[in-house]
Structure 1
Amino acid sequence: MMLSVVIMYAAFAYDLVRSDFVKLLSLYAALFFLSFKVIQLQKLDWKLLLGFGIVCRLVFLFAIPNLSQDFYRFIWDGRMIAEGINPYLSTPQEWMQSGNFEVVAQSRQLVEGMQSLNASHYTNYPPVSQWVYALAGVLYPKSILGSVIVMRIILIFADVVTFLFLRKLLQQLKLPQHRAFWYFLNPLVIIELTGNLHFEGLMVMCLLISIYLLLKKKWIWAAVLFGLSVSVKLLPLVLLPLFFHYFRKQERLNIYKLIAFYGIIFLTILITFLPFLSVELIQNFGDSVALWFNKFEFNASIYYVIRWIGFQTVGWNIIGIAGKILPIIVLFAVLALSLFEKNNSEKTLFVNMLFALSIYFLLSTTVHPWYVITPLAISIFTNYKYLLVWSFTVIFSYSAYCINGFNEQLWLVGLEYVLVIGFLIYEFNSSEKIKLF
């Protein structure tokens, strides 16, 4: 069975094009079923499953990512830094039009690979991610595959560290330790992190180490690691309000310690940005992040319903309005969780983190498959399984990519969220939580 999984991952890595959705879905469904079957049969032999997970990742080592072209932008940014150029101050298109394209090796190939949408916008990847891109740029300044291998090795290492801290946290919470494999052997995690080089894996590693240190009362280092996780991807900022009640219970509302915790987080973020800091960076980075709320649309749930209502009532796409209102709703929802829900126990803190991230993504205008990985990691520490369902159904979104371009299949998007939200409602109302194995 394990050999079959490895062979299918090899087919996924080296013999699949994104537009062949039937093959993509068939392979993914088979991998999903067999991977969880392996966990069920071998869950007590964690060393065997750890080795198996590493082998599944190493299968991708020499493959060029085939489901996402974001890695071309990572390489571009890294090579800019390697040449001493701030990647936040210009777009690839601007750089190419300036006539200086020869400074970045394989610049034409990189820009064509990332495509015009990405090349026309300023980078929105925070500094810690940029450091990894820069390392790849220094080690392999003229090889795309070489740069891919460097980033892939780092992400595999991050996944292994994540697995170890998943087990530590599960042990501390007195939960079954084999749950760590629901993340580590999940095909979504392997394909999107190792396969497609998305840096959620590095962010999740820093976030889980931060939470572990916090539960061990090492709140200063916990704050530093939390700040580093934000400097990989900005998403953990959504979780910040949830620590209020935890500090209230664990530290008897030592307001100075709480303020210091938040202060160290933001100081860490600032320090990581210092090598790139300028007025133009703040403007460009802010503009780039705003695009995700006010312009981009992909695999959304509640927003698509709002968009349809907008077309029916005013006759045009209201993303410009909805993109400003929905983040405010998310903010108030997270504040409600932090103020009215008691996050004063470790398990409750994880549940509210899961709900905060779920609310954020259910109200987002853009939900790429790899976005689901962070709430998936948090869900391991709760009794809710709807993120496992989502980690399967989110693959339906790849049906949008066809030979002739991009054509989102809204009925599949609808099916994805009906299954996820339906399962969530069932779990929320059920007195008995579903036992997987």
Structure 2
Amino acid sequence: MDLKLLRLYKFPILIALSCVAFYWNFAYGLAREDFGRLVMLYTALFFLSYKLYELLRHNFKILVILAIIFRLIFLFALPELSQDYFRFIWDGQLINAGINPYQFIPTEISNELDFSNTKVLLKGMGSLSAGHYSNYPPVNQLLFAVSSFLANSSQLLNVMFLRAIIILADLGTLFFGASLLSNLGLSRDRIFLYILNPFIIIEMIGNLHFESVMVFFLVWSLYLLEQKRWFASAIVLGLSISVKLLPLLFLPLFFGFFLNSPKLSFMKLLGFHCLVILTLVISFVPFYSEEVLANFMASVGLWFGKFEFNASVYYLVRWVGFQVKGYNIIETAGKILPVITFVAVLLLTFLRKNATMQSLIKSMLFGISVYLLLSTTVHPWYLAIPLLLSVFTQFRFMLAWCLLVILSYSAYSNAQYDENLWLVALEYTVVIGYFLYELFLPKNSKPLDRVY
């Protein structure tokens, strides 16, 4: 019987073992400067993981076990593709020392601290992070503080605790995502397009990006809202925003869902929004002062008016600006493009009914996609929310985007961190082209959501 099972599952076993080997290489033997190897390993993992999903999609338990194994491979590894975790540890240690992480720039207070690892953290986080105020919202800060408290000054232990938090968040996303899919009459195995995706495993587990925690709270909130438990849903959504501010973008889109649902109403819509904002405000209370608020908003504003990375529409606008004005117009574009995004979200709010959970999620996917396409900065891990949302729709352009976003790492292959704009153009040409193909696919064609 065992031999029969071995023969039956020989290809999935071979693919799974290959994935283990490749993830091990990612975790313990890869530098982000080695762009060619990075792309080859990532591409191989992407296609092997998708093949594994196709072969085992109806064996839910095995896919869960594999998803956990792939994540545990990274448990003892220090992130090599991102240096953000040094700032996480820094902020956590400040809180445990009774210092407000929003109040001081690291380079300003480094000489006043008696941390044994101050120099290591400052060097590790880099001059950009060390020269600005923290922009991580309060729930994120709480998790940094807990990890720092448990690990003391051990860098590896801190990373392990942070990684454990993210793994638990992914398991929560697996549970609530699969449950929501089942409630919507969709196959629950779709959740593995997110959970088993190498993009999620590498960027979230490997590189310690807390978008996984934000996504967990978001899908939990949507699960509660689908059951019309709007009060609890609002609180959980507020927690999601307090991990990363991005879900604030979705607030207008709930208008149609509340007004078109029998058990909901306009008054409950107002209550929902008030609870979301109240939860966010309460999370900031322990850190609040006028100075801190100004510092935090200034730090967040930098991402719109100063920084640029892996952008699409903005790079075209920037080129036009150079032709017309003769200089980089990022400060102007950084103010106008968010307004266009907000207008797009309002159009999605009032031109689409969003009466069902699936239509609401589709509008959320469209809204955040517009936001990312108009952003001046699109780091790979920003794609976590739209990837999760796409699982509940027929759209699969996010799989292409998550595959091609690895090309943005070409910037780290040179000392100047110069981007290869040809690779950026390739990324967005394919992604936008695939999205338009899916959007305007002839109605008599087989729906894509039945394929997956």
Q: TM-score if structure 1 supplies the norm length?
A: 0.98
Q: Match of 1:49, as an amino acid?
A: L
The one-letter amino acid of 1:194's match is I
1:280 maps to a residue whose letter is E
TM superposition shift of 1:403: 4.3
Question: 1:19-41 CA distances to partner (integer Å, 9 max, x unpaired)?
Answer: 10100000000000000000100
Aligned residue in 2 for 1:64: 78
Find the partner of 1:7 among 13, 21, 38. 21
Cα deviation, residue 323, structure 1 = 0.2
Look up the match of 1:48: 62
Q: Is 2:102–2:134's contact at 8 Å kept on the other side of the alignment?
A: yes
Is the CA contact 1:105–1:141 (under 8 Å) kept in the aligned structure 2? no
Aligned to 1:321: 332
1:28-69 per-position Cα deviation (integer Å, ceiling 9, x unaligned): 000000000001001111111001000000000011111110
User: 1:41 and 1:181 mapped to 2: Cα distance?
Assistant: 12
Question: 2:112 matched to which residue of 1?
Answer: 100
Shift of 1:112: 0.3
Show the counterpart of 2:93.
Answer: 79
**Distance in 2 between the 1:345 and 1:202 partners?**
25
Is 1:309–2:328 an aligned residue pair? Answer: no
Please list the CA deviations of residues 79-126 of structure 1 after superposition, one character each: whole Å capped at 9, or x if unmatched. 000111100000111112xx2132x33011001000001100000000
| Residue identity opposite 1:394 in structure 2 | V
- 2:299 is equivalent to residue 288 of structure 1: yes
Q: Say if 2:228 and 2:264, in contact at 8 Å, map to a contact too.
A: no
Residue 393 of structure 2 corresponds to which residue in structure 1? 382
**1:132-169 CA distances to partner (integer Å, 9 max, x unpaired)?**
10011111121111100000001001001101111111
Query: 1:121 corresponds to which letter in structure 2?
Result: H
Asked if 1:334 is matched to 2:348, the reply is: no
- How much has 1:252 moved relative to structure 2? 7.2
Does residue 1:424 correspond to 2:435, yes or no?
Answer: yes
3-state SS of 1:88 partner: coil
Q: Retained in 1: the 8 A contact 2:228–2:263?
A: no
2:88 alignment partner AA: F
Q: Distance in 1 between matches of 2:47 and 2:265?
A: 48
**Paired residues, what number?**
434
Aligned counterparts, 1:29-428, within 5 A: 29-96=43-110, 99-102=111-114, 104-251=115-262, 254-428=265-439
SS of the residue corresponding to residue 260 of structure 2 reads helix
Q: Counterpart amino acid of 1:47?
A: K
Q: What secondary structure is seen at the aligned counterpart in 2 of 1:87?
A: coil
RMSD: 1.0
Matched, 1:27 2:38: no
Counterpart secondary structure, 1:250: coil
Q: Report the alpha carbon displacement of residue 251 of structure 1 after superposing the two structures with TM.
A: 4.5
- Structure 2, unmatched stretches of 5+, are 1-14
Could you tell me which amino acid in structure 2 is paired with residue 230 of structure 1? I
- Give 3-state SS (helix, strand or coil) of 1:217's partner: coil
Among all aligned residue pairs of Structure 1 and Structure 2, give the percentage whose two residues are the same amino acid.
49
C-alpha distance in 2 between matches for 1:133 and 1:337 = 36
- Contact persistence 1:170–1:177 (CA under 8 A): yes
